[in-house]
Structure 1
């Protein structure tokens, strides 16, 4: 069945071994983030038998799949109050920034006679989740409230960088997190067990020996899956970038002009596309679309193919310069970037096969 995602488990295992050696060799514990491939159970088998410490995901539905795991489960996205009970039942640790949510986690943990661990998120300027680092009074007031809760353990602090504001982790900004942790420990006479210093964008600091002393955990997804650190998009030595290959079938192949005819407005997704006049070109349509992938982050294995655009269910390619004499029914293969992998593994219309 097509479209399909071909998963090379040997290459995934290679990347897993490499990132484990790198992160744990730096003195950090390792959370492998599983949302990028929708908690695929074949990859889970590799993780379960590896030296990683935590399975981390943004969706509690994915963490439920890991019932019975020997690893600790971590909910990465801030919990919704409406899912507080599931969070307590299906994760060991969750990332938090709102005291009302933490109180609901406490209530549900008490209900089930459990202690739930949390990382309090600190915003170092990327402006996604967390208490802004300059608001020390808010940080201390929140911690004071947390420490009153009998079924919540303040396990540590965390930060997210790059994902929203594209702020690059540096020794300077991550040192603020370490300093904040030290102030908290001194003020409240406690010991924080984990200082989680970000995601795949922090990995490059290991190679430069610039990860601040005190950071003792990283949460890694893309670097493990696709072999690139996400601060500067550089490939990591010894990793594969083609452990996941998307294959899709040509359903139309015709020569047409390259610019639409008539007045143009917005496309099906509300965008105003701009077209390059390439003259008459050989256009292939393949049976996959924006519902399944991010067309801007697909990379044809045939380097002489250009991706022109996509609608919900159709991807349009320029195959004019290709040396391959494509026909209707032929398959076209692509490397995927993170956003396309995320979408393809979430789509019910993309099959998965393994080798």
Structure 2
């Protein structure tokens, strides 16, 4: 059934294992971030087989799906007050930056006769979540008075909103804050989390990670093989563990510029077209309800994406040398956003594969596949 996304579990497990082997010697544990694939258990299990020590997700619904897996669970998004009972029940740790939320967590934890571990997020310049560094001590002073809550770590988020690249000096500040708070308030600190897939590039830098950073929250680099600070492939990881497939439903020669007065498209935008004369246009049964076209890349580099509506993806096949026909299947690599969309969409079938095909034959198959 199409559209579908093929997930190669062996490649994902291999990526996780290679990353674990790189980071364990420098004392850094890995939180496997599962939100990019809607926390599908088979994918999470492959990552854990590769050596990840924690499971982390932004949504409590996803962590519930993985409750059976024998690893500690971490809620990545700051808890909503409306979900705190589930946070305490299903999560071993949560990331926090609001004292009122911590008070609510402590109240619920006491009712449930437990103690909830929290990681305090520090804002070091990206200006998403976190306490400004000069206010951390005041926050800790208040937080340690809350029964039912234990401060067990400090973390930082970079790149995701402001695009700020993690650097040694920035992460060293996090380490210094963590160590100061640990000593002054006699805290038991398990985790000093130095960011996400945008931080991994530091492993190959001259000074590496500052001593004291002992955790990273990794999703994209394990799943798609790229660090996200500069968008480069990281240490030979697989970039094609996820392949999106869609079927051609129309294939005709048509002008490259629509005929008539141009207004807004179905999404309220006024499109702009380049006049390239008559082109070979293919329509695929795949649309914006399934995936953002900016989040996918045709495996066949002779194909270009012209645009999409809710249910149709329009391609230019004018340079195609494989002579696609109606009914043929086009393959796409996915970026993180494309993977997120496709794995979330109920209209995209998920197909899990264990075995890898061999190099050259696999590439040819990706470029030309008929049903």
* 2:189 maps to which of 186, 189, 192: 192
Distance 1:39 1:329, change over 3 A: same
| 1:124-273 superposed matches below 5 A | 124-133=124-133, 136=134, 138-208=135-205, 209-273=207-271
- TM-score with structure 2 length normalisation? 0.92
Displacement after TM superposition at 1:271 (Å): 2.8
Question: Is the Cα–Cα contact under 8 Å of residues 196 and 218 in structure 1 kept in the other structure?
Answer: yes
Higher mean alpha-carbon deviation, 47-56 vs 156-165, is at 47-56
Q: Which residue of 2 aligns with 1:72?
A: 72
In structure 2, distance between residues paired with 1:207 and 1:235:
12
CA deviation profile, 1:42-61 (whole Å, cap 9, x unmatched): 11222344422100011110
Q: Which residue of 2 aligns with 1:4?
A: 4
SS of 1:232's equivalent in the other structure is coil
Question: Is the Cα–Cα contact under 8 Å of residues 48 and 69 in structure 1 kept in the other structure?
Answer: no
SS of 1:201's equivalent in the other structure is coil
Instruction: Give me the CA root mean square deviation.
Output: 1.3
CA deviation profile, 1:154-191 (whole Å, cap 9, x unmatched): 01111111111110000011111112112322432334
Higher mean alpha-carbon deviation, 171-180 vs 52-61, is at 171-180
In structure 2, distance between residues paired with 1:273 and 1:179:
51
Unaligned regions of 5+ residues in structure 1, if any?
none
SS of 1:204's equivalent in the other structure is helix
| 1:54-69 superposed matches below 5 A | 54-69=54-69
In structure 1, distance between residues paired with 2:265 and 2:168:
44
Displacement after TM superposition at 1:270 (Å): 2.9
Distance 1:100 1:285, change over 3 A: same
Higher mean alpha-carbon deviation, 80-89 vs 20-29, is at 20-29
Question: Is the Cα–Cα contact under 8 Å of residues 151 and 188 in structure 2 kept in the other structure?
Answer: no
Displacement after TM superposition at 1:3 (Å): 0.2
1:100 aligns with 2:103: no
Unaligned regions of 5+ residues in structure 2, if any?
354-371
Displacement after TM superposition at 1:294 (Å): 1.9
In structure 2, distance between residues paired with 1:230 and 1:333:
23
Displacement after TM superposition at 1:290 (Å): 1.3
Q: Which residue of 2 aligns with 1:13?
A: 13
Question: Is the Cα–Cα contact under 8 Å of residues 26 and 206 in structure 1 kept in the other structure?
Answer: no
SS of 2:198's equivalent in the other structure is helix
In structure 1, distance between residues paired with 2:276 and 2:201:
40
Distance 1:49 1:210, change over 3 A: closer
Question: Is the Cα–Cα contact under 8 Å of residues 77 and 95 in structure 1 kept in the other structure?
Answer: yes
- TM-score with structure 1 length normalisation? 0.96
